[in-house]
Every structure is written in C-alpha cells, then in structure tokens.
Amino acid sequence: MKNEKINRKEFLKKAGFGLFSIPLIIQGCSTAGESQTPDHCGFTDSATEGPFFVSSSRESVNINFTKLPGKPMNVNGIVYGGKNGETPVANAKIEVWHADKDGIYYPTGDGDISDYKASEIALRGHVFTNEKGEYSFYSIEPGLYPGRRRHIHYKIIAKGHRELTTQSYWMSDRGSIREQNDWTDRNTEICRYVDFKQDGNEGVAGVFDIYLERQG
Ligand SMILES: [Fe+2]
C-alpha cells in the first residue's frame, strides 16, 4: 500500500486544491511540536490488522457497552473518498476495536462474535457515517501493552472504495521512547496521530479524518 500512496502535494493537485487553500480545507491534522499548521497526508495509510479482529461486531456508537472503567473517550471525523478523496462518503462502515485500560482485548482472539460468549466481548463495535460522511463513537481510552504505543484499530468498508484496515495513535506519544520501540506501523503519517483534547471534566475527544482510495 505504501508504494501506491501518492504524496500530499500530488494528492492536493489531483484533488484540485491550491496550496493556499490548505488551511481552509483540512480538519484534524496538525504538526506536533511545531506550529499547529493544518496539514494533509493524502489517502490514509493502512496498518496491520493485528491478531484480535473479530467479525460481526455489534453496531454501537458506545463501544464500551459493558461499562469497563477508564477515561471516557470520543473519536469523531469524516470519511472522504470519491475520485480524488475529496468527497464525504455516506454509509461507510467503520469497525473499531481496542484494548481496555490495562491493555487487554475482549476477546484476546479473533474469529467471529458467534465464537464467543457475550460476556467475552467488549470495546469493539461498528458505526456508519451519515450523509455528510461524519462518524463518531464513544469508548474509554485504551491502555498499553508490551511493544506497542497507545492505539485504536479500524477497518473501514465503503461501497466503491478499497477496504482500509488501519490504526490511529496519540499525538502526545509522537516521538516518545515508547513509539521508538514500537516496530509496528513505522513511519506513520502525521494525520493518523489524533490530537486529543479535554472533553468535559473527565474525558478526551479527538478528530480522525479518513481518506479512502476509490476502487478500480
Ligand atoms: Fe492492538
């Protein structure tokens, strides 16, 4: 996938965006530790699915339906697609799964939901984008497990577009020792780092926009 990815400048040119319009069109991407200049990365890179994807998850805006303890977290954004990644995609299915606050997956396995008892399922589910391409889900902040930085897994399926399996990360982890020791998904583009902000008294919220390649 990496080799097929067009660079940012080419993407913007193909999409008909002038360079001076960049700050006006981009949401949710910024350059950590430097200025907060909005940026854009072209089509969203794929990342390994990992060993714990379970199919047939439930549709739920709140994927912490078992009420596990942790810091409340909201992730929201827009899925773009179309010929040049400029069009919001309605009805895209976004599968989400992540670890609990202690770095444990429920289940710690793969397969299908039907392979497990209901009590073994947590912190996974799916949502759909609305007519504006917008999505949002609520959960708790995932914890850490050995060898990985904090992350969330996604699988996005949208008609007419390539299926995308990817991961998002925490902007606050960017450049950290933990990231340097994470050999999964090296050279992550800046737009997959989510800049979480305080949301209410206890929670955090962040924006993760996703750009899908058209199929064919
Ligand atoms: Fe993971």
Question: CA–CA separation, 124 vs 60, rounded Å?
Answer: 9
Residues near ion ligand 1 (Cβ under 5 Å):
50
Whole-number Å distance, alpha carbon 31 to ligand 1 midpoint, is 24
Separation of CA 24 and ligand 1 centre (Å)? 33
Cα 98 to averaged position of ligand 1 atoms, centre (Å): 6
Question: Distance from the CA of 22 to the center of ligand 1, in angstroms?
Answer: 32
pLDDT score for 85: 87
Q: Please tell me which residue, 26 or 133, carries the higher pLDDT value.
A: 133
Tell me the CATH architecture of domain 43-211: Sandwich (2.60)
DSSP 116: S
Mean pLDDT of the chain: 86
Is the pLDDT higher at 10 or at 75?
Answer: 75
Sign of the Cα pseudo-torsion (47, 48, 49, 51, in order): negative
13 pLDDT higher than 80: no
Average pLDDT for 157-165:
97
Question: Distance, CA 180 to ligand 1 centroid (Å)?
Answer: 16
Gap from CA of 49 to ligand 1 centroid (Å) = 8
User: pLDDT by residue (tens digit) across 22-64?
Assistant: 333 334 443 333 334 345 689 999 999 999 999 999 999 999 9
> Is the pLDDT assigned to residue 208 strictly greater than 50?
yes
Residue 178: exposure state from Cβ atoms within 10 A (0-12, 13-18, ≥19): middle
**pTM assigned to the model:** 0.84
Q: Does a cis peptide bond (omega within 30 degrees of 0) precede residue 107?
A: yes
Residue 67 Cα, ligand 1 centroid: separation in angstroms? 20
Please state, for a pLDDT cut of 90, what percent of the chain lies above it.
77
pLDDT at 37: 34
How remote is the CA of residue 88 from the centroid of ligand 1, in Å?
Answer: 27
Instruction: Give 156 Cα–ligand 1 centroid separation in angstroms.
Output: 16
Per domain, the residue ranges of the chain are 43-211
- 169 in helix, strand or coil? strand
Distance 99 CA to ligand 1 centre (A): 7
